Structure 1
């Protein structure tokens, strides 16, 4: 969903986000008012939202937490002030602590979400009203503009049926910025089975073998936060070709998310952070991996190795072997 404009107005004390979607207005409305859909894009990449409460009624509350790859959490709540079904709703947005209480020293904002039909589909206008200029400056300094743009860029995957969005597309790699890459692949299989295929040693050796003629010799996955993992491969009959990767689990939320560090075994230097997320719809699972590189040069060097093609070979094997109907 392309963001067409983000404007701050220091006199009116507002920030307004405008975005257009190639979907009917009622579909856009549902994306913002059904929590399982909203949490797929409300947080920017790397900070997915988890809505633990969503009482969509005047006077009701929504509670959510956004969790970083390293386990840091930013919590918020909405108090619904007004609802014009299918057209708009208004909330008070607050930063809250782990108990849901408003946090001292953080601004609270009034937000309106307005939805309208366009010739090409629909439009969202999201306006945030601040009580002071300092509050507006504080939220902007926290990254609200880039965060809003990156969060809403994820909405296209929500507005389409999952198979319409990703089936037949293979493994896709998107450059988000100089150090972040997003990889997606639709897998025909349940989220539980895809999760198990990523965390069971014997299953890993069946599909994560690399190119034809290679075997996975070591498959020691990390099953809990703090666990170390180790993977290794070699060409059949050629142990001198052996190489591997290792790291540790920073976050494990089975069967939906696992965040790990990764570096080549025996190599010095910084690790990447790999954020694996799984979303299931109608028996198909979308794999999303957000990779954080230490710098642009490392990102470009690794992508140039043919990483995307190699991942596609493995994912196709996952469907053909581990997840194929008996």
Structure 2
């Protein structure tokens, strides 16, 4: 598995995942920048994603839903705040209703992705930052950290193709 560490820093209100890949920075970037490739790994294997809108530019939005084994759809959105292709991306991540509108009573987080050359491959640092400890605790209780590890664990197979 490509995930080498997951660190929950309760004081800094961050969840940081580090993953190492036997692929170039550009190849890993493509898994974020290509909506068809993004939906093949974003979300745990039991809840595959379908990307509806994909505007990977500052101010752009990405909307998607994950489908459970029972057919339930869980909608989400990203509001892209910065892009430095192929090295970095930052977005606000939140939940949406069935029409794709943001759900106000569930927390959001800010996610930053950094890609850097590491030996013959690429290191990805994915850091989620929260406004409050309560928000962080709520998302972790919903399984965000475990789901993220399972999702990123699918990237190796895509990079091998």
What TM-score bracket applies, with the shorter chain setting the length? over 0.9
- CA distance, structure 2, for counterparts of residue 41 and residue 89 of structure 1: 17
- Counterpart-to-counterpart distance in 1, 2:42 and 2:120: 23
Unaligned runs of 5+ in 1: 162-326
Aligned to 2:18: 18
Please give the root-mean-square deviation of Cα atoms over the aligned residues, in Å: 1.0
Distance of 2:81 and 2:104 partners within structure 1: 22
Secondary structure class of the residue paired with 1:59? coil
Aligned to 1:105: 105
2:59 aligned with 1:87: no
TM-score by length of 2: 0.96
DSSP 3-state at the match of 1:127: strand
Flag the structure with larger Rg. Answer: 1
Structure 2 CA distance for aligned equivalents of residues 131 and 146 of structure 1: 20
- Residues 226-241 of structure 1: matches in 2 within 5 Å? none
Q: Which structure 1 residue ranges, 4+ long, deviate > 2 Å from structure 2?
A: none
**Where does 1:38-57 land on structure 2 (aligned, <5 Å)?**
38-57=38-57
- TM-score by length of structure 1 reads 0.48
Question: How many angstroms apart in 2 are the aligned matches of 1:109 and 1:143?
Answer: 14
- The CA deviation at 1:15 is 0.5
Does 1 or 2 have the higher relative contact order (CA < 8 Å, sep 6+)?
2
SS of equivalent to 2:29? helix
Question: 2:120 and 2:10 mapped to 1: Cα distance?
Answer: 32
Aligned length: 161
